[in-house]
């Protein structure tokens, strides 16, 4: 069916597929840093964070809350490796993407890294 649209239709279909992949592939910042957020509640197992909207809080395991300061603008792979060495916990890039989506993490600006 795509052959009926000719070269222009094929090019538009390819561009649409690339755009769809970009929109549906979780983005992971290269150098994440902790962004401002409020802690609404801390329990024994979970903490509730509020970022961009009080109507859409994020519940995190309290152990994950303790790891957030490690995101200080260094490359994400470096932070993940350091956390694993220090705590034995493995942070998945999908988790980092979720923190980015909720505004708990943001891409660091040049010079933001803390050493």
Question: Domains in the chain and their CATH numbers?
Answer: 29-107 (3.90.930)
pTM of the model: 0.69
Specify the pLDDT at position 41: 94
Quote the CA–CA distance of 71 and 74 in Å, as a whole number. 7
In sequence order, what E strands does the chain have?
32-34, 38-42, 46-50, 58-61, 105-107
Instruction: List pLDDT tens digits, range 45-96.
Output: 999 999 988 899 999 999 999 999 999 999 999 999 999 999 999 999 889 9
Cβ–Cβ under 8 Å, residues 100 and 92: no
49 beta partners: 39, 58
Nearest CA among 79, 34, 86 for reference residue 60: 34
Specify the pLDDT at position 80: 94
């Amino acid at each position: 069916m795509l052959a009926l649209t000719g070269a222009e239709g094929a090019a538009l279909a390819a561009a649409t597929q690339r755009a769809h992949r970009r929109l549906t592939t979780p983005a992971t910042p290269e150098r994440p840093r902790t962004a401002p957020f409020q802690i609404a509640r801390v329990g024994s197992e979970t903490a509730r964070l509020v970022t961009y909207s009080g109507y859409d809080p994020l519940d995190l395991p309290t152990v994950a809350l303790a790891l957030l300061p490690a995101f200080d603008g260094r490359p994400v792979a470096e932070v993940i490796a350091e956390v694993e060495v220090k705590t034995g916990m493995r942070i998945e890039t999908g988790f980092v993407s979720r923190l980015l989506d909720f505004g708990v993490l943001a891409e660091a600006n040049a010079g933001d890294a803390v050493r």
